[in-house]
Amino acid sequence: MLIIVGLGNPGLTYRGTYHNMGFVTVDKLAKEWGVKVDKKKCDAKVGETQVGGQKIVLAKPQTYMNLSGTAVKQLMASYHCTPQEMVVVYDDIDLDCGALRFRAKGSAGTHNGMRSVVAEVGEDIPRLRVGIGKPQGQIPLYDYVLSRPKGDKLDTLEQATDHAVKVLLQYVATGDVAKAMLS
């Protein structure tokens, strides 16, 4: 079993924002597998499938970002899984726009959604970070992450989330973080 959780904020207001790169990635993965992520369960929208004989759950918490850990903890309890049987995908301002980083565990860094996840389930949870870069000029961080990328940044993030899907497909096939990052 593997649960892939994309972090983001629910609702049309936040669709396509930098802060919703986790949702974007899960939506692209769902399209790849022909899965609808629309069933309400555990404060999240979920979709289930089988890949290579393994049950896969795709999830998008419907709590706001700062409370993502609540939904992740509920999903773990409902599906009887460990943190190592999950992957959390989220945006990261500390990575250059378009960069990816996949780790088997670690701290939450500066991301409030991941801080919530770590507070609820601990640091031993695999995570795939999609770099969105830092805001330019005097734009407050809050305004930046809730804005929509445009132009070259939009193109870069489209490519990055496509690459994130390839990384996750490799991870599902191998269960190996290092091999997945080579895809």
Distance of CA 143 to the CA centre of its chain: 20
What 8-state DSSP symbol labels residue 109? T
Contact indicator for 20, 45 with CB cutoff of 8 Å? no
Residue 21 DSSP SS3? helix
Which two tokens mark 104? 């088997």
Q: Are strands 86-92 and 2-6 parallel, antiparallel or unpaired?
A: parallel
With 0-12 CB in 10 A as exposed, 13-18 as middle and 19+ as buried, what is 27? Answer: buried
Give the residue numbers annotated as catalytic, written as ranges. 19
Tokens of 30: 């769902």
Instruction: Please state, in angstroms and rounded to a whole number, the distance separating the CA atoms of residues 138 and 68.
Output: 28
Residue 133: phi and psi, rounded to 5, are 75, 170
